[in-house]
Homo-oligomer: A and B are copies of this chain.
Amino acid sequence: MTQAGGIEIVRTVADLRARVGSWRAAGLSVGLVPTMGALHDGHLSLVRQSVGETKRTCATLFINPKQFNPNEDLAAYPRDEAGDVAKLKSAGADLLFAPEVAEMYPPGAATQISVPGIGDILEGEYRAGFFTGVATIVAKLLLQALPDAAFFGEKDYQQLQVIKRMTADLDIPVRICGAPTIREADGLAMSSRNAYLSAQERAIAPTLYAAIRSLAEAVRGGADPASQAAFAAEKLLSAGFSKVDYVTVRNAETLEPVAANDEPARVLAAATLGRARLIDNIAV
């Protein structure tokens, strides 16, 4: 359906299903890489992982209004479809699904998917409605394309766990694959929102990764999670972050506070630097 080295762009669910259906009919496995565009090497690593694990890869580009709340940066969110298409092509994607808002939310659309518990804490606490917006749009994309596998970055670690929970709970027949965070040379996790940083803020930003890495090492060495997390938050404020929403050590799957020393744990953090709210995480 697509030519060698080419990438086809579709705008409607019907066209998406026709393309994916033709691949299925030919016995080809399909990978899906949902994105909001403004692609960086983190996204492209997901595309390459999908290309390596499945026969055909479909990326999606949809800036989902339902996962922004009125105080957030929907209007300002970076957009560059032409640039994104070139990057997807170079990474080996076969298809881009880039629908308009009205294609995803036609008049009358009302249904919401929520994940109480893991969707209410951390990011869910600071971004009202965020994970309901994420769970709903990801379910829609999965059910529109019905891929064999879908790929999400560990950069948005809580999002990945919410999506795994939602997909399992609703019996959506797709494998959810997480992929490691891709970082700049100085450790800053790649993010479309890094574009909001001034040169001065950009120089400060790697403190976030340094702080959570130190925290993870300290906890691994037996230090008390709560006092070490407080220390990490102080470091961020001293470095120039204006607000720390959380720095915390959690169960790696449920993201509940860690109870036992031997459970798999994850450090998660969110803090504001200039106009950007940055998040990062690392395994303990």
Contact = CB atoms under 8 A, between A and B. Distances in A.
Interface of A: 13, 17, 108-119, 135-136, 139-140, 143-144, 146, 165-166, 168-173, 254
Contacts of A13: 171
A166 B113 CA distance: 10
28 contacts: A13-B171, A17-B173, A108-B165, A109-B168, A110-B116, A110-B117, A110-B118, A110-B119, A110-B169, A111-B113, A111-B114, A111-B135, A111-B165, A111-B166, A111-B169, A111-B170, A112-B113, A112-B115, A114-B114, A136-B170, A140-B169, A140-B170, A140-B171, A143-B143, A143-B170, A143-B171, A144-B171, A146-B173
A109 B169 contact: yes
A109, A112, A119, A139: most-surrounded residue (chain B CB, <10 A): A112
Contacts of A111: 113-115, 135, 165-166, 169-170
Contact of A172 (B17, B108, B109, B143): B143
B165 A110 contact: yes
A112 B108 contact: no
A112 B136 CA distance: 11
A148 to B, nearest CB: 14
A25 to B, nearest CB: 12
Contacts of A168: 109
Nearest to A120: B110
Nearest to A172: B143
A139 B170 contact: yes
A116 B113 CA distance: 11
Contacts of A143: 143, 170-173
B108 A116 contact: no
A13 B218 CA distance: 44
Given A111-B113, A140-B170, 14 more contacts: A13-B171, A17-B173, A108-B165, A108-B254, A110-B116, A110-B117, A110-B118, A111-B165, A112-B113, A112-B115, A140-B171, A143-B143, A143-B170, A143-B173
Contacts of A17: 173
Most B CB contacts (10 A, CB to CB) among A113, A115, A144, A254 go to A113
